[in-house]
Structure 1
Amino acid sequence: MSLTIAMPKGRIFEEAVELLRRAGYDLPPEFDDSRKLIIEVPAEDLRFILAKPMDVPTYVEHGVADLGIAGKDVMLEEERDVYELLDLRISDCYLAVAGLPDTKMSEVAPKIATKYPNVASSYFREQGEQVEIIKLNGSIELAPLIGLADRIVDIVSTGRTLKENGLVEFETIVDITSRLIVNPVSYRMKDEKIEDLVDRLSKVIGE
């Protein structure tokens, strides 16, 4: 029984592939440049599905992938029925509240623009603030600049994008790393294979 792993494209994919190679998995060189959405690695009994980051937990929850690699931000936002097995400690970043410097939030229902409506509304509710959430899918930094929102909630890695757009951070919400997640049924049916993968990855994490 082979294992199917859903992975997001981009930075997490590159760092995860490096981690798997260090754990002794023989992934072919063309793996890195592939335009394919499904990559078979018969020698390792593995199959990879390349997906949008937000879709990875969905694929795992529905069982079309046994395992997935997803950022903690996606896990918090999506709240899918999957188990989190391992903090892979890759793709470090954090979720933060940002906006234009020296600006106060509106007194009445301040507007917050974000790709993470669930995380953002939970955070402001915990602060005792009633806010209006505006969901955007990209270029979140634009929202305060064009008067669409008082604040944004977004992922910050280096902080360069915020600086280049004249924005500042106000609060950090949560630190983010990528996690290995599993479908609960797969975990029962393919436990030996999955435990082997977890053991091998555990040994190389943080080396």
Structure 2
Amino acid sequence: MAESNVSQAQASSAAGMPARSLRGLDAVLAEAGRALQVLSGAAQASRPNPAGRQRGEPALSEAEQRHAAGLMRVNHVGEVCAQALYRGQALLCKDSAARALLLRAAAEEVDHLAWCGDRLDELKSRPSYLNPLWYAGSFALGLAASRAGTARNLGFMAETEAQVEQHLDGHLTQLPAADERSRRIVEQMRSDEIDHRATAQREGARRLSLPVRLAMRAMSKVMTTTAYRI
């Protein structure tokens, strides 16, 4: 094993690239691969869809179907952003426990992403055309948040989840009464987001300042308004 490590170090040195740079490159390539999975729709859920198999569900009117699709597209964008945000936070987080928490939350957000994608397909609709923009912006925001220290990093996660909870509460009242499949997905998403927030707070999340919270709400408003249609 020691000889193998020496050989790797020598190979890196011979190529003019130290081992630390190689690890950094590996991390960047891994994140690029994850981004492609998310944006292409290839990411797979690890848990069954809470809506179950599609059977004979009540028919939605054209207007109801369009409205439900708009809401689920907004939810899908939210999961694209959450995936990028948490992975960006985890990438530069120096606290191993906090990093594990962020990556665990990101993994559950993949489930939400896949479920929302499935429902959009059932509603004969599509994800947002602006998903690459949302992903890039959220990942950059996560990188910035990760430099603020563990307590604020977790505080950012807790505040994000608190705002998502409110957002999902609104969707549960706005979804067409007959759209039980979308409702079951949103209810499970809401339960998971509550758990993420509570876990972040339990692990030492620091409450963010009012200006930061208001800025996050403003950005969320722009995203949800745009994603409903585009």
TM-score range, shorter-chain basis?
under 0.3
Give the TM-score normalised by structure 1.
0.25
Bigger strand fraction: 1
Give the TM-score normalised by structure 2.
0.23
